[in-house]
A = this chain, B = another copy of it.
Amino acid sequence: MDTVSENRCFGGTQGVYTHASSACNCDMTFGLFLPEEADDGPVPLLWYLSGLTCTHENAMTKAGAQAWAADQGIALIFPDTSPRGDDVADDDAYDLGKGAGFYVNATQDPWAPHFRMWDYVVEELPALVGREFALDMERQAITGHSMGGHGALTIAMNNPGRFKSVSAFSPICNPMGSDWGRKQLTAYLGGTETAWARHDASHLMREVGFDGPVLMDTGSTDQFIDLLRPEVMADAIATRRQPATFRLQKGYDHSYFFVSTFMEEHVAFHAEALFA
């Protein structure tokens, strides 16, 4: 693992690191914020998974999360959204290939050799950072935005006991029913829809649910709301009787101006679960 940069930030350190990933079969980059409490011992970790077109950097510079994580004494990790490099397959569309890993393990060509973001985020990266940094891996929580909200919800529900809490900003709620989903799931996983189900947050919510607190925020005037399908998630939450807070925020859109506005509440929500 190599250090790309470390900047002092809210009394802690915002670092950027690269490492050779065996899951993705390429070099991967991630951001990690450590609050000053990490100088004295392991701190809880909140995952932030980013959306389409993002790298590790977008949320790290635009979401304003470090202020609140520093207040709470929580670390933040910002993984990239896909494998990278000249050897990695890509597509001209912004929503397939690089920047659009969708947090799955691709089984189809040309994606299968590198697009294993599920294994990367669920297995390889936690093992790496748990070894290299002062992180209490018994106290993890997860959030994300858009495609990253999809990733946070599906990873949390597929790994019971791993995360104390899960939240999402404008998540892709029902990729099996949306053009932000059917296209990518077909490309990465093939046309058999049974292979898709564990990557559909609304389906998981209906079938499995989450053993802990759940928070979701979506802008009522999000320009992509028809692709996000929050109504399917709302129905699933209510049908399952899942303890959850599901909110449509009046007048907000899909941007980081929306994410940053509600970041304080999301970090406080996770802190309550992490320090319970």
Complex CA gap A64/B256 in Å reads 11
Give every chain B residue within 8 A of A8 (Cβ-Cβ).
219, 221, 251-253, 257-258, 261
User: A260 at interface (Cβ–Cβ under 8 A)?
Assistant: yes
Interface size class of A (residues with CB under 8 A): 20 to 34
User: A14 at interface (Cβ–Cβ under 8 A)?
Assistant: yes
Interface positions of A from 198 to 255, Cβ below 8 Å from B: 219, 221, 251-253, 255
Count identical subunits in the complex.
Answer: 2
| Complex partner residue of A10 from B7, B14, B261, CB under 8 angstroms | B261
Q: How far is the CB of A265 from chain B (nearest CB, A)?
A: 12
Please determine whether A257 and B62 come into contact, CB atoms closer than 8 angstroms.
Answer: no
- Residues of A with Cβ closer than 8 Å to B? 7-11, 14, 61-62, 64, 66-67, 219, 221, 251-253, 255-258, 260-261, 264
Since A7-B255, A7-B258 are in contact, a sample of 19 more A-B pairs with Cβ atoms closer than 8 Å, ordered by chain A residue number, is A7-B252, A7-B257, A8-B219, A8-B221, A8-B251, A8-B253, A8-B257, A8-B258, A9-B257, A9-B260, A10-B260, A61-B62, A64-B64, A64-B260, A66-B260, A67-B67, A67-B260, A67-B261, A67-B264
**A to B CB contacts below 8 Å, 15 in the list:** A7-B252, A7-B255, A8-B219, A8-B253, A8-B257, A8-B261, A9-B257, A9-B258, A10-B260, A11-B261, A14-B257, A61-B61, A61-B62, A62-B62, A64-B67
Q: Which 10 A-B pairs have the closest CB atoms?
A: A9-B257, A7-B257, A8-B251, A64-B64, A8-B252, A10-B261, A61-B62, A7-B255, A14-B257, A7-B253
